[in-house]
Structure 1
Amino acid sequence: MLSRRLLRVKVMQTVYGHFRGGDSTLREAENELFHSISKSHELYHLLLLLILDVRDLAEKRIEIGLNKKRPSYEDLNPNRKFVNNKVIQQLHENRQLLKYIDATGVSWKNNEKFVRDVFKCIRESELYQQYMESEDNSYDADRKFIAKLYEKVIGQYLPLYALCEEESIFWNDEAEFVVSIVVKTIKDFEEEKGEEQSLQKEFKDEQDRDFVKTLFRKTILNHSDYKALIKKFSRNWDLDRVANLDIVLMEIAITEFLEFPEIPVKVTLNEYIEIAKHYSTPKSGTFINGILDKIINYLKKENQLEKLTSED
C-alpha cells in the first residue's frame, strides 16, 4: 500500500527510535515497525471514509431543508450533484473498504465535529462551488473532482494534520504522504469495476514486505560497521555534532546500496537526500549527498557494490 518512500521513512523512524531508546530487542523494534505500517494503512482507509461521512452530512442538510416548515425554493430544489457523485457512491459500495471496516471497526464517530468542519471547508471552497455549478455529470468529471478535493482542499486542511498527531504517534508527519496515496487511488478508479474496484493493500506484494524487513534488520545489525564507514569519510566533520538522524539515514542508504542490487544507486541516493530535506536540518541534504557520494565511490572500488544495471 505505502510508497517505497514512505516505507523508507518508517524504517528511518524505527531505527532512530531503536537507537535512542536502547531498551528494545531487534524483534520488538521490528514488530513496532510493522505495526506502524499497519497504522498507516488504517489512516488510508479513514481518509477514504471521510468523504463518505461528508457526503452523509450533505444528504442530511438537504433533508433538513426539505422538512422546514417554510422551505425556500432552494430547499425544495436542492442541488444533489455532490451527494449523487458517482465515485463517492462507488466507494460507498466498495467490497474491499466494507471488508476492512467490518474487520477493524474504524470510523469517524469520535471526531464528528471534525467531519462537520471538513464539510464546511469543502462547501466554502471554490473547487466545490465550481463543481456544483458545472453541467458535466460524467463519471470522469466526478472522479477528477474527488481527486482534486483530496489534493487541494482536504490535503490542505491544516486541522487534519493536528488531529492525526493527536490520534496516533504513528501518524506524525505522514498524513501528507497518505493523502497523496488516496489521491492516486481515486485517479485509478474505473466506472466499469464498480464495487470490485481495488484499493491499496498494506504491501503491494511480498517483495515490498521483504524490502522493509531486510532494510531494517541489516541496518541494525551492521550499525557499527556502517557508522565507522561514515566516520571514515567525514574527516572534516565532528561526527558527534552531526544530527543523529542524518547518520541513521546514511546507514539505511548504505544498507540499500549493498542489499538491493535491483535498485539503482541514483534512486537510493535521491530518496534519502529528499527524506533528509523533509525530516532533518536544512543543510542535511547537501551533507548526506557529499558523504554518500564518497562512500559509493569507495564501495565501487572495493567491488562491494553490485547492481543489476549500469548507471554510468
Structure 2
Amino acid sequence: MENFLIPRRFVRIKALQNLYAYTIAKQVHEKEAIEQIKKDFVWDCFLDEPSRKEQLTKAATRAVGLFQAAIATALPTHTFVYKENKEIAESVYKQLSYYVEALKKDQTFLQHGFNQSKEYIYLILLYTLLLLVEWYKLAKVVHPSSEEADHSLKKQLAQNSLLEELYHNSKWIKIIYKNGISWAQDQDQVQNWYRQFIQSEEAPKTYLLHPNNSIKILEYVVQHIIFREGPINDFLAMKDLYWDEHKGIVKKILIHIFKMLSTKDFAAFTLFWDNLEEKWATESEFYSRILTIVIENHIRYEEMIGAQTQKWDKDRILLTDKLILKLALAELIECKEIPFKVSINEYIEIAKWYGSAKSGAFINGVLEGILKKNHN
C-alpha cells in the first residue's frame, strides 16, 4: 500500500496537538499542587498563635520553591530530599507524588492519542462506504425507467458495478458488522439525504465520459455531496471530533478503495485492510518514538532552546513554537534515518499552520542556531 495514504506530516501534527494538550495538563497539575502546598501552610486565626503567621508564610514560600525545583529535574520524587523541616518535606513530597502520578496517566493518554485518530478515521471510512451502499440499494429499489437519461445520478448509482460488488462482498460486510457500523437507526436520515441529494440530481457529463466513470461517479458523490459543507458533513463531524483534519485522509483511502475495486481483485481488497493496519502500526510507532524522546529529553531541549533565545522575551515565545522546536530536535537528533532537510522543512511548514505569521522564520532560525552549536 502506498505511503501517501497516511502522510507523515499528519503524524507530526497529531504529535504536536497531543503534546500541546499534555503540556497544558502538566501546567494545571503544577498549579493544583502548588495551591495545595499553600493550603498546607495557611494560618488559622482560631488554632494558631499570631506569631506563627509569618512562619507559615515563609514555610509556604519555601515549600513552593522546593517543589518547583524538584519538578525541574528528571526524577522529582527520587531526587527530592529536605531535612530541615519535616512539615515542609511531607507537604512537598506528597504533592510531588501526586504530580508524578498525574503525569504518568497523561503520558498514557498521550501515547494512545494517535490510535484515537485511527479509530475515528476507520469509523468514518466505513460509515461513508456503507452510506454509498445504502444509496445504491435505494436506487435499485426505485429503479429508473429505461427512458430516464443515463446522466441521472440515481441511475448511475443503481448501475455502479463497484457498489454492487461492495454490496455482495461478504468479507467486507463482516468488517462492517465487526466494527458495529450501521445506518439502521438513521434510515430516515439516509432516505432524506437520498431524496435531497441523489434522486433528482444529474451526474456531471465530464464524469460520465471518463473511461473510469464508475470510479469518477463515486469520487463525485463523496467529494461534492457527502463531504461538502452541509447536513451529511455535519453528521460525520458529530461522529469524529477531528473530522476537518481527518477528512483528507478518509478521501484518499476511499479513492484508493474505488480504484482497487475497479480491478475486481477482491482478494487484494480484503488484504487491503490488513495492509492498512500495518501502515497505521508503522506510523503509530514513529508517533510514540518522537513523543517518548521529547518527554525523556524535555529538560535538555528546554536548555538548548533557552540558550538560543536569550535575547527573546520568554513570555512572547508561543507554546506551540516551543513544542514544535522540541519535536523537531527529537527528530533531527535521534531519527537519523529521516533526511535532515525533510525534517526541518516539515516543522517549518507546521509552524506556519499552527503558529503566528513569524513562526516559520523563528523555528528555522532557532533550529539553525542550535544545530550549528551542537555540530561544532
Q: CA 1:48/1:205 → structure 2, altered by over 3 Å: closer, same or farther? A: closer
Counterpart secondary structure, 2:115:
helix
Q: Choose from 9, 16, 20 the match for 1:16.
A: 20
90-99 vs 238-247, which moves further: 90-99
Q: Which position in structure 1 is the counterpart of 2:9? A: 5
1:280 and 1:161 map into 2 onto residues whose CA distance is 27
Q: Choose from 179, 189, 193 the match for 2:265.
A: 193
1:17 and 1:168 map into 2 onto residues whose CA distance is 18
Q: Which position in structure 2 is the counterpart of 1:287? A: 362
Q: Note if 1:223 corresponds to 2:298.
A: yes
Q: Which position in structure 2 is the counterpart of 1:60? A: 138
2:285 and 2:139 map into 1 onto residues whose CA distance is 48
Shift of 1:54: 3.5
Q: CA 1:194/1:217 → structure 2, altered by over 3 Å: closer, same or farther? A: same
Shift of 1:266: 1.1
Q: Choose from 43, 60, 63 the match for 2:121.
A: 43
Q: Choose from 250, 253, 278 the match for 1:178.
A: 250
Q: Which position in structure 2 is the counterpart of 1:309? A: none
Contact 1:203–1:209, Cα closer than 8 Å, also in 2: no
111-120 vs 15-24, which moves further: 111-120
Which amino acid letter does the alignment assign opposite residue 282 of structure 1? A
Counterpart secondary structure, 1:282:
coil
Q: Note if 1:278 corresponds to 2:360.
A: no
1:135 and 1:165 map into 2 onto residues whose CA distance is 33
Contact 2:140–2:158, Cα closer than 8 Å, also in 1: no
1:6 and 1:96 map into 2 onto residues whose CA distance is 30
Give the percent of matched residue pairs that are identical in Structure 1 and Structure 2. 24
Contact 1:230–1:295, Cα closer than 8 Å, also in 2: yes
Q: Structure 1: which 5+ residue stretches go unaligned?
A: 302-312
Counterpart secondary structure, 2:159:
coil
Which amino acid letter does the alignment assign opposite residue 326 of structure 2? E
Q: Structure 2: which 5+ residue stretches go unaligned?
A: 30-101
1:3 and 1:96 map into 2 onto residues whose CA distance is 28
2:18 and 2:325 map into 1 onto residues whose CA distance is 14
Of the two structures, which has the highest relative contact order with CA contacts closer than 8 Å and spacing of 6 or more?
1
* Within-5 A mapping of 1:216-255: 216-255=291-330
Query: TM-score, with normalisation over the residues of structure 2?
Result: 0.64
Say how many residue pairs are matched: 292
Shift of 1:21: 0.8
Counterpart secondary structure, 2:245:
coil
1:243 and 1:50 map into 2 onto residues whose CA distance is 38
Which amino acid letter does the alignment assign opposite residue 15 of structure 1? L
Q: CA 1:60/1:206 → structure 2, altered by over 3 Å: closer, same or farther? A: closer
Contact 1:246–1:284, Cα closer than 8 Å, also in 2: yes
Contact 1:16–1:248, Cα closer than 8 Å, also in 2: yes
Bigger Rg over Cα: 2
1:124 and 1:157 map into 2 onto residues whose CA distance is 19
Deviation readout 1:22-60 (Å, 9 max, x if unpaired): 244345433454254244344244234324324423542
Contact 2:132–2:163, Cα closer than 8 Å, also in 1: no
Deviation readout 1:121-178 (Å, 9 max, x if unpaired): 567877x33267x366x6x332244345444554443656644553343546333343
Contact 1:53–1:115, Cα closer than 8 Å, also in 2: yes
